[in-house]
Amino acid sequence: MHNAFKLNNIDGVSFLSVPSFDETGLCVTCFSTRLGGVSRPPLDSMNLGFGRGDERETVLENYRILGGAAHFPHERLVAFTQVHKNDVFVAEEKDAGEAFVAQKREYDAVVTNVRNLPIATYHADCVPVLLLDPKRCAVGVAHAGWRGTALSCPAAAVRKMCEAFSSDPGDILVGIGPAIGECCFETDGDVPEAMLSSFGDDVSHFIKRGDNGKFRVSLSGINAFSLIKAGIPQKNITLSRECTCCKSELYWSHRKTHGVRGAMASIIMLK
Ligand SMILES: [Zn+2]
């Protein structure tokens, strides 16, 4: 297991990439931060979510800036409305630009083997998972809040890559990006119950009970567990240990801001 994403600063724009993915030379990875956009408070400054209170033109300008810094054609981005389920979309050339249509379809994970077609999920505490099969040249993104984690959404994306592109899980590289950590993800009993019901006692060490009757849950840890169970070798996983809520000066955190926040994008594109 590798421990860190890389923080890049290009022309005042800060975004993360996954070193093990970068080393293959096959793809662009970009997990955006709050920094480098043109949105004004309280969405300052890199907000990539439409419907968060920003002018549409401002959000489009943020995409243009991010695409320029991270080297992807932002106008071709494929992203969907996220609904905390585990349906996976196989993106094709004709889907280019789906991120900017008025009525996006609903998917929490996207995979593709089309080059020059960036795919993305949106985040502000929920776990971002990036996938790269360097042998079959295919990529994927998945969004996993606690419901998506319990539904093994990232593992569903791995399965879809195996079906659609003949990927072998043993070849797939995984990047699990910044998300709310167990330091800050305090929950009632519903979250641990969902995890234990999906994964059994094997995930009990990712759940801690506090003195106040509440629980603290490591969603990133459970997603890594779920992906390893789906056949991903542990050595293929890069796990960011950064907590979006603790580092809210760098990342958007839904919990920290009580929902008044922008959105980050977790993007991958085959070159
Ligand atoms: Zn934290």
CA of 73 to the centre of ligand 1 (A): 33
pTM, to two decimals: 0.97
Question: Looking at the domain assignment, is residue 89 inside a domain?
Answer: yes
pLDDT, one tens digit per residue, over 171-186 is: 999 999 999 999 999 9
Question: Looking at the domain assignment, is residue 10 inside a domain?
Answer: yes
Total structural domains within the chain: 1
- Report pLDDT for 265: 98
CA of 126 to the centre of ligand 1 (A): 13
CA of 133 to the centre of ligand 1 (A): 31
Question: Looking at the domain assignment, is residue 128 inside a domain?
Answer: yes
CA of 125 to the centre of ligand 1 (A): 10
Question: Looking at the domain assignment, is residue 160 inside a domain?
Answer: yes
CA of 217 to the centre of ligand 1 (A): 11
CA of 162 to the centre of ligand 1 (A): 34
- Report pLDDT for 1: 80
pLDDT, one tens digit per residue, over 45-79 is: 999 999 999 999 999 999 999 999 999 999 999 99
CA of 148 to the centre of ligand 1 (A): 20
CA of 184 to the centre of ligand 1 (A): 4
CA of 117 to the centre of ligand 1 (A): 33
Question: Looking at the domain assignment, is residue 203 inside a domain?
Answer: no
The 3-class SS string of the chain reads CECCCEEEEECCEEEEECHHHHCCCCEEEEEECCCCCCCCCCCCCCCCCCCCCCCHHHHHHHHHHHHHHHCCCHHHCECCECCCCCCEEECCHHHCCHHHCCCCCECCEEEECCECCCEEEEECCCEEEEEEECCCCEEEEEEECHHHHHCCHHHHHHHHHHHHHCCCHHHCEEEECCECCCCCCEECCHHHHHHHHHHHHHHHHHEEECCCCCEEECHHHHHHHHHHHCCCCHHHEEECCCECCCCCCCCCCCCCCCCCCCCEEEEEEEC
Taking 50 as the pLDDT cut, the residues of the chain under it are none
- Report pLDDT for 139: 99
CA of 120 to the centre of ligand 1 (A): 24
- Report pLDDT for 244: 98
Question: Looking at the domain assignment, is residue 154 inside a domain?
Answer: yes
Question: Looking at the domain assignment, is residue 185 inside a domain?
Answer: no
- Report pLDDT for 103: 92
CA of 203 to the centre of ligand 1 (A): 20
Residue 200's alpha-carbon distances to 203, 222, 245, in angstroms, are 6, 11, 28
- Report pLDDT for 3: 77
Provide the domain limits for residue 266: 6-180+231-270
Question: Looking at the domain assignment, is residue 111 inside a domain?
Answer: yes
| CATH number of domain containing 126 | 3.60.140.10
CA of 167 to the centre of ligand 1 (A): 35
- Report pLDDT for 246: 98
